[in-house]
Amino acid sequence: MDRNKRDETMDTRGNDRTMGNQRDDKNVNNDDSGWEAKWDQFKGSIKQKWGDLTDNDVKEVEGRRDKMIGKLKEKYGMSDEEAEQQVRDFENENWKK
């Protein structure tokens, strides 16, 4: 993609406007503190979204974002980038609930 075309589709944070990947960073935490605070709310949604995760898998995550990414890589064979994107999408879908 040429630079001018890319600039037209990217917002100020580098998110691709055409792909619907905009994040509201003030509502999403990329560290574990946000996950720990919302863990009880997230557990059920995690099991719905990633049905191959067992109760034990979810227990092992313990509200830690980095462990969630690792668990997705392990169970689903995702790349770092794919697991990170799925967790980011999950946060965007569930953070305001």
Q: What is the per-residue pLDDT across 50-70, written as a single tens digit (0 to 9) for each?
A: 999 999 999 999 999 999 999
Q: What is the pTM of this model?
A: 0.66
As a CATH number, domain 31-97 is 1.10.1470.10
Residue 19 in this model has a pLDDT that exceeds 80:
no
* Cα–Cα distance, 65 to 37 (Å, whole number): 11
63 by DSSP, 3-state: which?
coil
86-91: long-range contacts (C-beta < 8 A, 24 or more apart)?
Answer: 88/23, 88/28, 90/45, 90/46, 90/49, 91/28, 91/29
